[in-house]
Amino acid sequence: HDACGFAGTADVISETARELSCFVVEDASLSLGAWCKGRAAGTFGDVGTVALFPSQDVETEPNGAVICTSNNRLSITLRDLLMRRKSPLRHLRIEPLGASVMLSKIPHVDDFTNRRRITARLYCELLREVPLIGLPLVPADESHTHMCFPVRVPADLRSAVMRALRAQDVETSLLWTTPLNRDAELRTRSIVHSDLTNASRITRELLFLPMDPLMTVQEVLHVTRSLANALTELSTSLVPSASKQKETRKRTAWVA
């Protein structure tokens, strides 16, 4: 899964999976339009999938999905499954009306992606000197679509920051509140024998800022000023130790 739209490690994951003889299903729903080592996101796995739900650049009505593979035998099997009346994949079929909506939006994908990249760079530039914030890595290449923009704030301040931003008409969100190794649906199938301390800590710190290809510079300025003011005011109630200050500086280069 190319979380937040970053496909820069797709080649490493694919190579590792092949060394372990694992079958790879690559979910490129958030990274549609991203590239890695000259290849498009969604083409590194044995199967590539793109969910077409309303929050995506390309959507269908009702929800649908695109499944891609270069394996002819697998392609025939998937096509057969989709056509069966009681197929578990039947709800992913795209009806004619949905296909029309999808086709009308495909020409705009690259433009929307480039707009979000510009917004992501602007976010980072404006928030670089704000205290107590960790910024995501914004690659200079085309390996990221920035479908969402996560930042890290101290876990004990996150709720207060969200309230302060809401008071300024800035809506933020928490897309992931549980690490995958603790997800109820995946726990029984997980082979991870660790608490994944860093993943758990980051989950408590993540805060997703508004991200839309049609955001204006004025809107981005309003978000960053509101966030900077909130963190500056809240930071006065904290006296971070030298180790925490060092940790905050390190967090300015994490990958989302």
CATH classification at residue 9: 3.40.640.10
Are 115 and 242 members of one domain? Answer: yes
Domain final residue, candidates 42, 77, 107 = 107
- 124 in the same domain as 46: no
215 & 189 share domain: yes
Could you give the number of structural domains in the chain? 2
Domain assignment of residue 147, given as a range: 109-253
Per-residue pLDDT at 149 exceeds 90? yes
| pLDDT recorded at residue 7 | 86
Tell me what the pLDDT averaged over the chain comes to: 82
- CATH number, domain with residue 247: 3.90.1150.10
Whether residues 7 and 29 share a domain: the answer is yes
Indicate if the pLDDT at residue 36 is higher than 90.
Answer: no
Please give the share of the chain, as a percent, with pLDDT higher than 70: 81
Report the DSSP beta bridge partners of residue 89.
Answer: none
Query: What is the model's pTM?
Result: 0.79
Q: Are residues 121 and 33 in the same domain?
A: no
Residue 160 or residue 11, greater confidence: 160
155-214 confidence digits (pLDDT tens)? 999 999 999 999 999 999 988 777 766 776 666 666 665 667 787 888 899 999 999 999
Exposure letters 124-138 (e unless 16+ CB within 10 A, then b): bebbeebebbbbbeb
